[in-house]
Amino acid sequence: AVVSTQSTGKVFATMDKLSAYEDLLAELCTLFQEGHMLMSKCNLRSGFESVSADRLPRQGVHEVKAITTLVINEANDCSVQSREPEKPKLRKRKNVSKKEDERGNSPQKENEKKTSQKIVPESEEKEKDTEKEELIKLPDDPLNWFGLLSPTALQQAQERFRAAIARSVELCNLKQELSKDIGEIENMRANEL
Amino acid sequence: MSKVTMAKSHLMGLVGDEDTCTAFLLGGIGELNNAREPNFLVVKKDTTIGEIESALRKLMGRKDIGIILINQHIANDVRHIIESHTAAIPAILEIPSKEHPYDSAKDSILRRAKGMFSVEDMR
């Protein structure tokens, strides 16, 4: 088939994009492999399945907000938008001393107060439980879902997968451009014939 | 007067095996609350193809999802749904998994491009 200069130029540009597409795919696969390797390393050190799907949030039980989202412009190009995860608040330990405090309360007196409290019937307790039934809010940073002291290997794995997410988005944008270009080339060739 | 448009943020959907879901949720794409359904499906050994199809259709129908990631070996089971999807958003991207490396022969773009370019065409 005879190809005009216009379609030849288009073909060359598309071939360059295809090459970039294959490179991005290879990079994505490498990032995945490295990330999974680091996760396996973490499991080896921290215990079997310490980093596994069992620790993932469950519907109806947990509440989680995404820290990595997408921004889509008018041309349907996607870009990654990440926010800083909120750090878990540290609970302050109360200094409980055996001696009486300033108000004159002692631990023994406090225990007596607790035992003399009115006993709430079970039905009222259940009503209170259902009112208080809320989703468990998991830590903002997914790293903390697998324990507060996250191993270095897990942190490195997270970096790999974040990079993999960015590559996936780039790959998606390139795929859309290629799909459009290949369609145009097919049309051009059909018209030339 | 220039128009300032606020770009709305979208989520990434995910249909993958346990390792892939753990990986991407570790990356921070997971969202779960009572207001809307989760943006991911963990495909286990006992997950049926019907459940995968249903989850994928729900993700494709959501306006707050920009890209859907799906393991290639799972995409092979629901190829008919993926190929019938023509909308630009949400875009569907096939990704490799830990146990199933990426097969370039099944990539839609590379299959279309294969045989399209030859030396004879340039004469």
Q: What pLDDT digit, counting tens, does each position of A94-148 carry?
A: 666 555 555 555 555 555 555 554 554 544 444 444 444 577 888 888 988 888 7
- Supply B107's token pair: 């990539």
Q: Does B82 touch chain A (CB under 8 A)?
A: no
Residue A51 has pLDDT above 90, yes or no: no
Q: Which candidate in A31, A39, A48, A56 is best for mutational testing of the B interface (most B CBs within 10 A)?
A: A56
Q: Does B64 touch chain A (CB under 8 A)?
A: no
A66 and B30 within 8 Å at the Cβ level: the answer is: yes
Nearest in space to B13 (alpha carbons), one of A58, A169, A59, A176: A169
- Supply A111's token pair: 């225990």
Residue A51 CB: number of other CB atoms within 10 A?
26
pTM of the model: 0.80
A72 and B12 within 8 Å at the Cβ level: the answer is: no
Nearest in space to B91 (alpha carbons), one of B106, B108, B105, B76: B108
Q: What angle do CA A19, B102, A55 make, to 5 degrees?
A: 125
Q: What pLDDT digit, counting tens, does each position of B100-110 carry?
A: 989 888 888 88
Mean pLDDT of the region A12-33? 93
- Supply B98's token pair: 């830990």
Is residue B11 within a helix (H) or strand (E), and if so which, with residue range?
Answer: strand B9-17
Long-range own/partner contacts, residues A3-8 (CB < 8 A, 24 or more apart): A3/A189, A3/A192, A3/B121, A3/B122, A4/A188, A4/A192, A6/A188, A7/A185, A7/A188, A7/A189, A7/A192, A8/B122
Give the ipTM.
Answer: 0.88
Residue of chain B nearest A81, judged by CA positions? B9
Q: What pLDDT digit, counting tens, does each position of A143-182 carry?
A: 888 887 788 999 999 999 999 999 999 999 999 999 999 8
CB-based burial of residue B37 (10 Å sphere; 0-12 exposed, 13-18 middle, 19+ buried)? middle
Q: Which residue has the higher pLDDT, A163 or B37?
A: A163
Residue B23 has pLDDT above 60, yes or no: yes
Q: Which candidate in A63, A72, A169, A173 is best for mutational testing of the B interface (most B CBs within 10 A)?
A: A72
- Supply B44's token pair: 């286990």
Give the pLDDT confidence score for residue A149 in this predicted structure: 79
Residue B70 has pLDDT above 90, yes or no: yes
Is residue A82 within a helix (H) or strand (E), and if so which, with residue range?
Answer: strand A78-82
